[in-house]
A and B are shown apart, each in its own frame.
Chain A
Amino acid sequence: QVQLVQSGAEVKKPGASVKVSCKASEYPFTNYYVHWVRQAPGQGLEWMGIINPSGGTTTYAQKFQGRVTMTMDTSTSTVYMELSSLRSEDTAVYYCARAASSGNSYASVDYWGQGILVTVSS
């Protein structure tokens, strides 16, 4: 079945960068967008950006522009999200989620990764 498997938890110091991954399986990788979403402890979901694995085009939330970079590797069906200049407020669970890029279910967000806890602490 469709799976999005994310990399393991990270602990970073303020000012550092983190790069997390999301490996897709059991579906045509380039036919679906991938969203990145984060959730700070006890808070709601926050949309960070989206990447189209067919071509690599990205759109980032204004809040993260200049600090986030989303990339992909079609050979391994993996998308990456790198966040730089980390601060304590970036401590959160980071999720990837798949969204249809065409057809009757265009823009439907369906499968989610398990989430990655990124802790920023000195």
Chain B
Amino acid sequence: QTVVTQEPSLTVSPGGTVTLTCGSSTGAVTSGYFPNWFQQKPGQPPRALIYSATNRHSWTPARFSGSLLGGKAALTLSGVQPQDEAEYYCLLYYGGAWVFGGGTKLTVL
């Protein structure tokens, strides 16, 4: 069973920078996994942020950036704002099937 791993929780100060990661039990995450990142706030559907590891959607603020880092997909938030407090999920492609990470709860404090 494939497992996608994310940090369960992270805390960042307003204005700070934080990096969330997304790893795979099968090995290094590459562009072929088509990493997608989503933000979800309580009571709302997820909102798409990043696709294909590095590409922002038209509505994604520039302070969100995606990369491949050290064998993992990464989501970096720069100049964090209070409204960025949310749960963040990554989604990876495994040749037909997809798997979500367990999510990272980001606290802005």
Q: For the complex, what is the distance from the CA of A80 to the CA of B96, rounded to whole Å? A: 19
Q: For the complex, what is the distance from the CA of A26 to the CA of B31, rounded to whole Å? A: 30
Query: Are B52 and A105 interface neighbours, CB within 8 A?
Result: yes
Q: Which DSSP category, helix, strand, loop or mixed, fits chain B's interface?
A: strand
- Which of the four size classes fits the interface of chain A? 20 to 34
Query: Are B46 and A46 interface neighbours, CB within 8 A?
Result: no
Q: Interface 1/0s, chain A 25-37, versus B by CB < 8 A? A: 0000000000101
What total of chain B residues lie within 8 Å of the partner, measured CB to CB?
25
A residues with CB within 8 A of B: 35, 37, 44-47, 50, 59, 61-62, 95, 97, 105-115
B residues with CB within 8 A of A: 1, 34, 36, 38, 40, 45-48, 51-52, 55, 57, 87, 89, 91, 93, 96-103
